[in-house]
A and B are shown apart, each in its own frame.
Chain A
Amino acid sequence: MTQTASAEPKKGSALKRSRGGAAGDKVFSNTALAAGVIILLVLAFVAIFLVTESLPALWPQVFSNQDSIASADTFGQYVLPLMGGTVLASIIALILATPVAVGIALYISHYAPRKIATPVGYVIDLLAAIPSVVYGAWGMTFLAASMVPIYGWLHNNLGFIPFFAGDPSTTGRTLLTSGVVLAVMILPIITSLCREIFIQTPKLHEEAALALGATRWEMIRMTVFPFARAGIISSVMLGLGRALGETMAVTLVLSPGVFSLSLITSGRNATIPSEIALNFPEAFGMRQSELIAAGLMLFIITLVVNMIARWIVSRHKEFSGAN
Chain B
Amino acid sequence: MSKRIDARNLNVYYSKFLAVEDVNINIEPRSVTAFIGPSGCGKTTFLRTINRMHEVIPGAYAEGELLLDGDNIYAPGVDPVNVRAMVGMVFQRPNPFPTMSIRDNILAGHRLNGARMSRSEADDIVERSLRGSNLWNEVKDRLDRPGSGLSGGQQQRLCIARTIAVSPDVILMDEPCSALDPISTLAIEDLINDLKEEYTVVIVTHNMQQAARVADKTAFFNIAGTGKPGKLIEYDDTSTIFSNPANEETQNYISGRFG
A interface residues with partner B (beta carbon < 8 Å): 113-114, 202, 204-215, 218, 222-223, 226-227, 229, 316, 318-321, 323
Contact = CB atoms under 8 A, between A and B. Distances in A.
Contacts of A223: 97
Given A211-B51, A212-B112, A213-B84, 19 more contacts: A113-B58, A205-B95, A206-B56, A207-B53, A207-B89, A208-B159, A208-B162, A210-B53, A211-B84, A211-B163, A212-B163, A218-B112, A222-B112, A226-B97, A226-B98, A227-B99, A318-B146, A319-B99, A320-B98
A208 B98 contact: no
A208 B95 contact: yes
A321 B98 contact: yes
A323 B113 CA distance: 29
A138 B88 CA distance: 54
A323 to B, nearest CB: 6
Contacts of B86: 213
B98 A212 contact: no
B97 A205 contact: yes
A213 B166 contact: yes
B85 A213 contact: yes
B108 interface: yes
B20 to A, nearest CB: 19
A143 B120 CA distance: 56
Contacts of B159: 208
B242 interface: no
Contact of A210 (B56, B100, B162): B56
B122 to A, nearest CB: 16
B93 interface: yes
Contacts, number: 85
B149 interface: yes
B91 interface: yes
Interface of B: 51, 53, 56, 58, 81-82, 84-86, 88-89, 91, 93, 95-101, 108-109, 112-113, 145-146, 148-149, 159, 162-163, 166
Given A204-B91, A218-B112, A323-B148, A211 B100 contact: no
Nearest to B88: A211
Interface SS majority for chain A: helix
A208 B105 CA distance: 11
A110 to B, nearest CB: 12
Given A213-B109, A318-B146, A208 B97 contact: yes
A319 B102 CA distance: 11
A205 to B, nearest CB: 6
A321 B99 CA distance: 6
Contacts of A214: 81, 84, 112
| CB-CB nearest 3 A-B residue pairs | A321-B98, A213-B85, A226-B99
A227 B98 contact: yes
Contacts of A205: 95, 97-98
A319 B98 contact: yes
Nearest to A322: B98
Contacts of B145: 318
A67 to B, nearest CB: 57
B148 A321 contact: yes
Given A212-B85, A213-B81, A319 B53 contact: no
A288 B82 CA distance: 68
Contacts of A226: 97-100
A280 B159 CA distance: 63
23 contacts: A204-B91, A204-B95, A205-B97, A206-B56, A207-B56, A207-B89, A208-B162, A209-B97, A210-B56, A210-B84, A211-B84, A212-B108, A213-B86, A213-B109, A213-B113, A213-B166, A226-B99, A318-B145, A318-B146, A318-B149, A319-B98, A320-B98, A320-B99
A221 B215 CA distance: 37
Contacts of B84: 210-214
Contact of B109 (A212, A227, A321): A212
Nearest to B87: A211
B90 to A, nearest CB: 8
Nearest to B89: A211
Contacts of B108: 209, 212, 222
Contacts of A323: 98, 146, 148-149
B157 to A, nearest CB: 14
A318 B166 CA distance: 27
Contacts of B89: 207, 211
